[in-house]
Amino acid sequence: MNRRSFLSYGIATMTGFFFFSKPAFATQSSVRIEVPDTVSSGQEITIKLHVSHDGNNFLHHTDWVYVKINDQEIKRWEFGVFDTPESNNFTREIKYMVMTPIVITSEANCNLHGSTGISEKKVMVP
């Protein structure tokens, strides 16, 4: 094998590793919703969103988190290069007055790797 062939194969191999391998330490952003399962009508609840993403830094971070109630967005947090989340695991809270049963959905997104998907919790009113 001559030098030119060796370099061509080496470059092709490195390119394949670069494009087809997943990062070892990077993850997608995820959210876990913490709310009571059942509340009385007219009761105010605290909705806690526990967001996880390994490796937050100015180039690679959770870039947004939202929370929806019954498919209507009620709050969104956006992050950027100069305003990254405070740590790999962080929490956001909002208050909400529950009158009828609700479905809460939330999602977080990594600017490079995306999201693990939408989290959902139901709050029942007897």
pLDDT tens across 57-109, in order?
888 999 999 999 999 999 999 999 999 999 999 999 999 999 999 999 999 99
Kindly give the pairing relationship between strand 102-110 and strand 119-123: antiparallel
Q: How many CA atoms lie within 13 A of 101 on its CB side?
A: 7
Cβ(88)–Cβ(1) below 8 Å:
no
- Tens of pLDDT, residue by residue over 1-40, are 677 776 677 676 666 554 544 444 458 999 999 999 999 9
Q: Quote the pTM value.
A: 0.77
Q: Tell me the DSSP string of 27-65.
A: --BEEEEE--SB--TTEEEEEEEEEE-TT-SSSS-EEEE
Q: What gap in Å lies between CA 66 and CA 118, rounded to an integer?
A: 10
Name which CATH class applies to 25-123: mainly beta
Sheet with 89-98, strands from edge to edge, namely: 30-34, 43-52, 89-98
DSSP state, residue 115: B
